[in-house]
């Protein structure tokens, strides 16, 4: 009986002190659209009739967006010099 995606999402939300608006903006960083009503359904109690399970796609996109939110966008990759240098 491990943690569900909903549990992980809730814990990350509390740990980073995120509001629904913040989560929507974080998901938009990776071009993933999520609404406040969807988030409300994800964060509800499991016994609530409007409860929705957090799928892998939602959690994955949120985590990718959170990395960008916390670290900033990845710098462009530089071309590696070829190993055939003549001295």
**C-alpha torsion 4→53→24→28, nearest 10:** 90
* pLDDT number for residue 84: 67
Residue by residue, pLDDT tens for the chain (87 residues) are: 689 999 999 999 999 999 999 999 999 999 999 999 999 999 999 999 999 999 999 999 999 999 999 998 878 888 776 666 665
* pLDDT number for residue 86: 62
Q: Model-level pTM? A: 0.80
- Quote the CA–CA distance of 74 and 28 in Å, as a whole number: 16
């Amino acid at each position: 009986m491990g943690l569900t995606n909903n549990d992980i999402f809730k814990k990350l939300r509390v740990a980073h002190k995120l509001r629904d608006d913040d989560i929507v903006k974080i998901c938009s960083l990776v071009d993933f659209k999520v609404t406040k009503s969807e988030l409300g359904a994800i964060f509800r109690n499991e016994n609530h009739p409007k409860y929705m399970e957090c799928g892998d796609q939602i959690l994955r996109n949120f985590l990718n967006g959170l990395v960008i939110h916390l670290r900033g966008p990845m710098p462009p990759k530089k071309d590696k010099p070829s190993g055939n240098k003549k001295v």
